[in-house]
């Protein structure tokens, strides 16, 4: 089986409050976002933007109390992405984006 090599970009690292990550430029096409939270309750939104000012929700993921990890695959045309923690009561969140290395 052939494995695909991926490039990755950390979006948030142990974030424990509401707020958006710094926007990052990602190539168009398929991307995988790995979202994780050790414990706590929060909602993380993956957002895309054409101009870096106006953001569109591409996916929303809510966690509650127990450890959670999820891989979200998106295929979109937005050149800029971020993770926005829109609700938070406790815990620390992490998010990483990955895409094919040949892009």
pLDDT in tens, 45-91: 999 999 999 999 999 998 876 778 889 999 999 999 999 999 988 88
pLDDT at 41: 85
pLDDT at 1: 47
Domain boundaries of the chain, sorted by first residue: 6-100
* Number of neighbours of residue 27 by Cβ within 10 angstroms: 12
pLDDT at 3: 60
**CA–CA dist 9, 16 (Å, integer):** 19
pLDDT at 29: 87
Fold for the domain defined by 6-100: Jelly Rolls (2.60.120)
Please name the residues in contact with 79: beta carbons below 8 A apart, sequence gap of 6 or more. 25, 26, 28, 49, 50
Mean pLDDT rounded to a whole number for the chain: 89
Cβ atoms of 93 and 18 within 8 Å: the answer is no
Residue 30: DSSP 8-state: E
Rounded to a whole number of angstroms, the CA Rg of the chain reads 13
């Amino acid at each position: 089986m052939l494995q695909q090599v991926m490039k990755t970009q950390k979006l948030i690292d142990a974030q424990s409050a509401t707020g958006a990550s710094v926007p990052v430029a990602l190539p168009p096409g398929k991307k995988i976002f790995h979202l994780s939270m050790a414990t706590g309750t929060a909602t993380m939104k993956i957002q895309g933007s054409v101009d870096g000012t106006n953001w569109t929700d591409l996916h929303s993921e809510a966690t509650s109390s127990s450890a959670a990890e999820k891989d979200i695959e998106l295929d979109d045309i937005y050149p800029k992405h971020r993770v926005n923690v829109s609700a938070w009561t406790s815990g620390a969140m992490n998010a990483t984006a990955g895409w094919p290395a040949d892009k």
